[in-house]
């Protein structure tokens, strides 16, 4: 996956303007499978089609950053870099098994023309928001949005995995596996539940992304009434899951909509693409 560093200011501005072109925002560890007490570097990425640029952690951008394991929760926010540095957060997990790192971003804001707003809503499966705007007679007005990112990643430390894959974090919008996906080979059908405010979220479009060289595979499905979704992932390697949920805003005169962007990255077992 080609990656390019940008200046800190431009990276943060790009991250702030993500919904303008429905950019994804994800977290990656390098490596996904470190040795016990070995180094893994967590980085944030912004782009499209699971290809993008590195953007920086910063204390002004990160609301929460936590690592979960069988030992419990470890607050990593203090490790977030200063706003003047683009880079990553280094962790050295001391316990073998599954480690989940979850972040919640500070709120960001964007205003889009009606056409651009509706195009992005359609791409993310949010056509019901378009219909609500039409019903309210506001479909020709700009889309004023507040949005929050909920990226999450999953590591396999010391060649082991455990039930931590199912841990529930503090994220409002969260993609949670229903089985140990770190033990599943390519071609498996994986099951997830999408939660919002700890409750299953129905009828939301969930996408799974995989990139090999210049080829991108996208698998899509909607959650059922129980918030569950099943996706068959044909390739080994790194996958990214994404989902977007949007609500009408009632606490501000400056924005009309609030969106939450759930994201999960993990490495599927197997060789080859």
Give the pLDDT score at 22: 54
pTM: 0.90
72 vs 58: CA distance, rounded Å:
24
Residue 6: is its pLDDT beyond 70? no
**Looking at the chain, how many residues does it have?**
273
110 vs 95: CA distance, rounded Å:
41
Per the CB < 8 A criterion, the answer to whether 155 and 98 are in contact is yes
156-185, pLDDT tens digit by residue? Answer: 999 999 999 999 999 999 999 999 999 999
Contacts for 241 with CB less than 8 Å, ≥ 6 apart: 175, 192, 206, 207, 208, 209, 231, 262, 263, 264, 265
Say which range, 113-127, 146-160, 235-249, 258-272, has the weakest mean pLDDT. Answer: 258-272
Give the pLDDT score at 269: 87
78 vs 208: CA distance, rounded Å:
31
No. of helices (H) and no. of strands (E), the chain: 3, 18
Residue 3: is its pLDDT beyond 60? no
242-265, pLDDT tens digit by residue? Answer: 999 999 999 999 999 999 999 999
């Amino acid at each position: 996956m080609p990656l390019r560093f940008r200046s800190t200011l431009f990276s943060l501005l790009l991250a702030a303007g993500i919904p303008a072109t429905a950019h994804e925002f994800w977290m990656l560890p390098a490596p996904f499978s470190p040795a016990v007490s070995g180094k893994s570097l967590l980085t944030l990425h912004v782009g499209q089609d699971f290809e993008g640029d590195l953007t920086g952690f910063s204390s002004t951008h990160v609301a929460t950053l936590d690592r979960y394991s069988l030992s419990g929760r470890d607050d990593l926010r203090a490790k977030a870099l200063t706003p003047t540095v683009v880079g990553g957060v280094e962790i050295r997990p001391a316990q073998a098994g599954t480690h989940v790192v979850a972040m919640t971003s500070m709120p960001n804001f964007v205003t889009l023309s009606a056409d651009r707003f509706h195009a992005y809503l359609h791409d993310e499966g949010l056509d019901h928001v378009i219909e609500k705007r039409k019903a309210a007679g506001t479909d020709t007005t700009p889309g004023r949005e507040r949005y929050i990112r909920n990226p999450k990643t999953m590591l396999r430390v010391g060649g082991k995995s455990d039930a931590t894959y199912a841990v529930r974090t503090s994220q409002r919008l969260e993609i949670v596996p229903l089985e140990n996906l770190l033990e599943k080979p390519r071609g498996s059908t994986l099951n997830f539940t999408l939660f919002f405010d700890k409750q299953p979220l129905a009828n939301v479009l969930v996408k799974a992304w995989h990139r090999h060289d210049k080829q991108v595979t996208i698998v899509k499905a909607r959650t059922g009434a129980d918030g569950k979704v099943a996706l068959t992932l044909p390739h080994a390697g790194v996958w990214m899951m994404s989902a977007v949920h949007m609500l009408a805003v009632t606490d501000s005169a400056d924005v009309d909509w609030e969106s939450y962007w759930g994201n999960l990255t993990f490495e599927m077992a197997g060789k080859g693409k």
